[in-house]
Amino acid sequence: MSETASSGSTQKDASLPQVVIEDLRRTRWDGYVRELQGLYDFYLDDERRAELARMGRVRRTFSMILWILKSLLMKLSPARRVMLSIALVLGMVGWRSFVTDQFRVSIDLRPWGFVLLLVVLMLELRDKLLARDEIAVARQVQLALLPDKHPVVPGWSVWSVSRPANDVGGDLVDYIELDGFRHAVVLGDVAGKGLGAALLTAKLQATLRALVPDATSLDDLGLRVNDILHRDGLDNRYATLFLAELEHDSGHVRFLNAGHNPAFHIRSGGSARLAASSYPLGMLASASYREGSVNLDPGELILAYSDGLTEATNQHGEEFGNRRLEALLPELCDLAPEEVGALVLARVDDFLGSARLTDDLSLAVMVRR
């Protein structure tokens, strides 16, 4: 936090030419390419992109420009849409001369178009900065809700991490102490990302913390959480969940996997999937849930992860995928949990290269000591 503040202060004190020159020096060419690709993906939906792919080069270029411009205008408020339309017209009209019998008048309309364009940009930037301040507060609240340290679980070493794709994320990592001889390790993933997913993640966390200590079984816990999320949720919003209940000084683990990616039970002789037994939470009103169980010997571990790991996409459009993850599993045996997490994240970072995460990425590692 202090480093960010220092950087902002330095930019504020520097002159505009110095800031621009520094930006040009620090930004690589592929950074501009990613920005343009981001515009293409944001303003054109899948249907439009499929149509463009079927066109010839010349027609595709003109159609892409027109469709992006139309999409841009439709995303603006009515007043800003009018201002930008006028600015575009003035920019295209440009220089105009009016001749009468007595005099000749020449008017350059382009500066007025530029002024209107600048006003629209200033208004949009104001909205973005206000939203950014609100998101920064939301991020602080979300960080406050996350565990500030890893739990001390007798007979176990536990470690976790969560990397949001945006300033706030839809992944949940949490620890819940139960009755003095059990701990619950939670990894959840709310559909979507950004602020909406973050708000539903907070609801999921509060619901779990209220229900887990008194749940008679993980089957019952799944039913009750599903009822609440389905009753109070939004259309097309649901959550996947992996919850592992660790017994102190024992290798016995009960778990609930509600539509989540299968966690891996990793041992020296290989690995096994702890697959889902039911639908995601909040998706169906009548879903039933079934807990699973597994026994770990000393040195064995459980790796749970969100789909931001396997769906991490590099600059070539390739996903990290299940195959790369499963090929990595044999290297994770006999490592401390923080070493397991560091190795997995390093492989993902190497795979991403200059690309950034497109979905939240979370890991939870439980090693039997």
Indicate the helix (H) or strand (E) that contains 240: strand 239-247
| Whole-number Cα distances in Å, 35 to 48, 75, 229 | 19, 19, 37
Buried-state track 43-58, b at ≥16 Cβ within 10 A, e below 16 = bbeeebeeebeeeeee
Beta-carbon contacts of 294 under 8 Å, excluding residues fewer than 6 positions away, are: 253, 255, 265, 272, 274, 302
pLDDT at 8 over 60: no
CA dihedral (166, 261, 41, 123) in degrees, to 10, reads -30
> pLDDT (tens digit, 9 = 90+) per residue, 39-93?
888 899 989 999 999 999 999 999 999 999 999 999 999 999 999 999 999 988 8
Indicate the helix (H) or strand (E) that contains 326: helix 321-328
pLDDT at 103 over 80: no
Binning pLDDT at 50, 70 and 90, where does residue 276 land? confident
Closest CA to 233 of 277, 200, 278: 200
> pLDDT (tens digit, 9 = 90+) per residue, 165-209?
888 888 999 999 988 899 999 999 998 777 778 888 889 999 999
Q: Report helix, strand or coil for 8.
A: helix
The pTM of this model reads 0.75
Q: In whole angstroms, what is the distance from residue 286 CA to residue 289 CA?
A: 10
> pLDDT (tens digit, 9 = 90+) per residue, 294-350?
999 999 999 999 999 999 999 888 999 999 999 999 999 989 999 999 999 999 999
Residue 108: the pLDDT is: 86
> pLDDT (tens digit, 9 = 90+) per residue, 293-306?
999 999 999 999 99
Question: Thinking of the domain 149-368, which architecture would CATH place it in?
Answer: 4-Layer Sandwich (3.60)
pLDDT at 158 over 80: yes
Residue 137: the pLDDT is: 81
% of the chain exceeding 90 in pLDDT: 60
The 3-state secondary structure of 115-177 reads HHHHHHHHHHHHHHHHHHHHHHHHHHHHHHHCCCCCCCCCCEEEEEEEECCCCCCCEEEEEEE
Q: Where are the domains of the chain?
A: 15-142, 149-368
Please provide the average confidence, as pLDDT, over all residues in the chain: 88
> pLDDT (tens digit, 9 = 90+) per residue, 246-267?
999 999 999 999 999 999 999 9
Of 363 and 137, the one with more pLDDT: 363
Q: In whole angstroms, what is the distance from residue 341 CA to residue 339 CA?
A: 5
Helix 110-145 to helix 195-211 angle (10° resolution) is 10
